[in-house]
Copies of this chain bind each other. A is one copy, B any other.
Amino acid sequence: MQNAHNDARPFFSKLFSFSEEVIDLMCVSSSFLKVNKDETVITEATFNPNVYVIKKGLVRSYFIDEVSGNEINKTFRSEQEYFMQCEEPELKSSYQALEPCEFYVIHLDIAGDLKKNHASFQEFLYRTVSEDWRRKELLNKMLSLPTAKARYAMLEKKFPDWLQRVPQFHLASFLNMTPVHLSRVRKSH
A-side residues, CB < 8 A to B, are 63, 65, 67-68, 70, 72, 74, 86, 88, 90-91, 126, 129-130, 132-134, 136-141, 143-147, 150, 176
15 CB contacts below 8 A, A to B, read A65-B144, A65-B145, A65-B150, A67-B147, A70-B146, A74-B141, A88-B134, A91-B134, A126-B126, A129-B130, A129-B133, A133-B133, A140-B140, A143-B144, A144-B176
Cα A146 to Cα B130 in complex, Å, equals 28
Which B residues are CB-close (under 8 A) to A134? 86, 88, 91
Contact in complex: A140, B90 (CB < 8 Å): no
CB contact under 8 A between A139 and B137, given known A129-B130, A145-B65 = no
Which B residues are CB-close (under 8 A) to A147? 67
> Across the two chains, which residue of chain B brings its CB closest to A91?
B137
Shortest Cβ distance from A92 into chain B, in angstroms? 10
Chain copies in the assembled complex: 2
Cα A136 to Cα B176 in complex, Å, equals 17
Contact in complex: B65, A146 (CB < 8 Å): yes
Which B residues are CB-close (under 8 A) to A141? 63, 74, 91
> Across the two chains, which residue of chain B brings its CB closest to A68?
B146
Cα A88 to Cα B138 in complex, Å, equals 11
Cα A134 to Cα B93 in complex, Å, equals 13
Shortest Cβ distance from A90 into chain B, in angstroms? 7
CB contact under 8 A between A137 and B136, given known A65-B146, A145-B67, A176-B144 = yes
